[in-house]
Amino acid sequence: MVVGSLNMDLVAISPRIPVVGETIIGDKYFSEPGGKGANQAYGAGLLGGSVAMLGRVGDDEFGREMKENLKKANCDTTGIREVKGVSGVALIFVAADGANSIIVVPGANNDFTPGHVEEDAALLKGSHVVLLQLENPTPTVLAAAKAARAAGARVILDPAPAPEKPLPEELIRSVDIMTPNETEAAILAGLKPGTLEPAQAVQIGRKLQGMGATTVIVKLGSQGCVIVNKDKGQATLLAAPKVTASDTTAAGDVFGAALGVALSEGLDLPAACRFANYAASLSVTRIGAQASVPTRKEVEEFAKSNSVANPVDLAG
């Protein structure tokens, strides 16, 4: 089950991302369904998972298009309700090197309340894994985490976009796994964002565990990911395959979708993260958000032909 956001992505591709006050000529424009929650739900469907979603869209064409697109990925959209007003949109600027800059206007996502989660709590029953993000109001995300826990599900929070205010410790304690990227991890830990070395990711993971987190997986882009396990005191770097990035827009969402699918199928955490690394790495070779999501077969074939370095123990 995914509880989260749905946005229509409006994407402009240009040689580089403009600076403040600058106008540049772009190369391409397109629109496609997106939103971190919907990306995860769509990804889980294509990657072979049995998935449903809770969320809100506006009573507009964008909302209807986003629901229909999820159905194409075999996602159950029963829990996606329409509210009066506009659906969420994301304005995405993609540079030639794959870097991106995004402005999200939440629209109907801000109308998704804790009360709505409680009304649909029965839909969470039977879920092995529940995926959450931060494009809905924080109280709603907290209500979803609690409802998921009550339903006996494993709760995974992708703390993205990085919150402007510290996350409530109650929310951090209410999830089983946190999956920040290096920027989000630093912000959550009260540090200046920047590229992290694996050892730094471990330190930040430990700091988040001191705030109540259990297992922290820090996504390091081309470096792979670092698993920081509280119970066993372990920290491990899992390398990602080497690829040439075209667009990194939904890589974190694909990672979360693949992680959720793998865990729901009974894989242990390292194996699930390896699968997620392959899926996310393949996604960045393509343009778009949901358009970049690979199928299960594509990921399995990609994994066979792209070897990675052995896991590195970082516990010491």
Q: What are the residue numbers of the active site? A: 253
The contacts of residue 25 (CB under 8 Å, 6+ apart) are 14
- Determine if residue 187 is left, alpha or beta; phi over 0 gives left, psi from -120 to 50 gives alpha, anything else beta: alpha
Other CB atoms within 10 Å distance of the CB of residue 5: 29
Q: Tell me the C-alpha distance between 316 and 313, whole Å.
A: 8
DSSP letter at 290 equals: G
> Hunting for tokens 């649909």 — which residue is that?
120
Helix, strand and coil in the chain, % to nearest 5: 40, 25, 40
Considering only CA atoms, which of 106, 104, 55 is closest in space to residue 82? 55
Dihedral sign (CA 292, 1, 144, 190): negative
